[in-house]
Structure 1
Amino acid sequence: MNDKALLFINGDAPKSLPNSENYGLIACTDGAFHYLKKMGFPLDQMDFISGDFDSHSGSDEDMYGEKFILTLDQEKTDFHKALEIIQERGFSKVDVLGGSGGEQDHFLGNLTVAYAFKDVMNIKFYDEFSEYYFIPKYVTLRGVKNRMISLYPFPSATNITTKGLNWPLSSESLNITSRIGTRNFAVENEISVEYESGDLLLFVGIKEIEYPAIY
């Protein structure tokens, strides 16, 4: 059984769709359902669609009603509730599309939800610019030369050492209120990031860059 799930949520619609055969479960929130329908995604491949469904038509219910899971808890976001369902179904790896774009408080809320699940699920976000996720205390990446690499403390991380970046860190700390590590880039094909405590979001650019815009 493929142990990875694919989840679409209600940010900006992805520019392209991944190969559904790479996933053991495919799901979306009801907001994402609308853009997937417009994109022609085969919605019969969905294992479930979660939300309050207040904007769905009768035809949606006729065609996909058995896949709808009503989630009315206003104390949790649709993303949070979808992750709970995925976890209940035994999946601990989740690729998320539609997590960025739109209203920025929504984007920050999605990061906060991912933070809440980081110790029990491996959640990776993908958009047209980058992939990003919370990393363990040591990580090695290959095939990233000339790609933008950003380290974002959430809210802080200590004793960080990196290898293979244009501006390396050597036992240094980052904090959201004073110093962050965004807009760096890989000068080696393989890079590593190691840190002692706290939490770090790692952003890896999708495309190679010739002249990094560092700011």
Structure 2
Amino acid sequence: MTLLGGGDLNPADLAESLSLAPKLVAADSGADAALSLGYRPCAVVGDLDSISDHARVSLPDGAFIHVAEQESTDFHKALSRIDAPGVLALGFTGGRNDHELAAWHTLMAQRAPRAIVLGGADLVFLCPAEMTLRLPIGTRVSLFPMAPVSGTSQGLEWPIDGLDFAPGRRIGTSNRSVAASVRLTMDAAAMLVILPKAHLRIVSAALF
């Protein structure tokens, strides 16, 4: 499933996402972004405080899922109500820094369904307990911990075996692949993986 927010959006990224996950859901003002590009979301989820009147009248009443609580973001509200093997999320990065930080929090807090967030240059996802990525040699592979986490790696220039990662202590950005396959294992669901978004299809196949 493709999930669209109201943040920065590259129309080509949305078209690519829909080619992989053709069912479109919007988080609040993501409905306006969808309609402006000629797409009609099948559902709109959120507190509905930023959607336009135009979007409200352009979609049937049954498309709206109003979640009034203010303890979570619209991304979290929508992701927690999606029943799908995986989600490609766009429009949740760029713009306000607090919104983007909240997106990374949501990836860790709401672990199902698995989600890939597409941004300006990169894609980001929460690393599962183990995974293998068949990436071109020389691909940038960045690892960013959201909590204490350790793991192992094969196929990275700088192996992570025996390292303890944690915010404010150790991060793993700007590593790169040196083999046709990169294998990662993690002892906790707390490590974000950041790759160039050109590898969306590779990551989708490995994650979903």
TM-score category, normalised to shorter length:
0.7 to 0.9
- TM-aligned CA distance change 1:171 to 1:9, over 3 Å: same
Give, as a single letter, the amino acid of the residue that structure 2 aligns with 1:116: A
Query: Does the 8 Å contact 2:2/2:17 carry over to 1?
Result: no
Could you tell me the TM-score, scaled by structure 2's length? 0.83
* More off after superposition, 95-104 vs 12-21: 12-21
Residues 1:21 and 1:204: Cα distance change in structure 2 (over 3 Å):
closer
Give the drift of 1:179.
1.0
Distance 1:195 1:19 in 2: 27
2:46: which partner in 1?
A: 51
Contact 1:147/1:206 (8 A) holds in 2: no
Residue matched to 2:177? 186
Match of 2:165 in 1: 174
1:8-27 pair list within 5 angstroms: 8-16=4-12, 17=14, 18=16, 20=18, 22-23=20-21, 25-27=23-25
- For residue 57 of structure 1, report the CA deviation from its aligned partner: 4.9
- 2:204 corresponds to which residue? none
Residue 60 of structure 2, aligned match among 56, 65, 80: 65
Cα RMSD after superposing both structures: 2.2
- Is contact 2:32–2:55 with CA below 8 Å preserved after alignment? no
Separation in 1 of the partners of 2:48 and 2:196? Answer: 34
CA distance in 2, matches of 1:185, 1:177: 22
Deviation of the 1:140 alpha carbon: 0.8
Aligned-pair distance for 1:161?
2.0
Deviations 1:15-64 (A, max 9, x none): 412253533631012222223333x2321xx2101234445555433321
Q: Describe the shift of the 1:169–1:132 C-alpha distance in structure 2 as closer, same or farther (beyond 3 A).
A: same
Distance 1:121 1:57, change over 3 A: closer
Offset, 1:134: 0.8
2: CA distance between counterparts of 1:36 and 1:165?
A: 38
1:115 offset after TM fit, Å?
Answer: 1.1
Question: C-alpha separation between the residues in 2 aligned to 1:24 and 1:207?
Answer: 19
> Structure 1 length normalisation: TM-score?
0.80
Q: 5+ residue gaps in structure 1? A: 209-215
Which is worse superposed, 195-204 or 141-150?
Answer: 195-204
Q: 2:58 is matched by which residue type in structure 1? A: M
- Alpha-carbon distance in 1 for matches of 2:17, 2:146: 31
**Aligned match of 2:119:** 127
**Percent sequence identity over aligned pairs:** 26
Cα 1:70–1:177 shift into 2, 3 Å: same
Q: How many residues get paired?
A: 196
Q: Which has the larger radius of gyration?
A: 1
| Partner deviation per Cα, 1:89-115 (whole Å, 9 max, x = no partner) | x32411111121111111111111221
Pair 117,55 (structure 1): closer, same or farther in 2 beyond 3 Å: closer
Q: Which runs of 5+ in 2 are unaligned?
A: 200-208
8 Å contact kept, 2:86–2:113: yes
Picking from 22, 38, 41, the partner of 1:41 is: 38
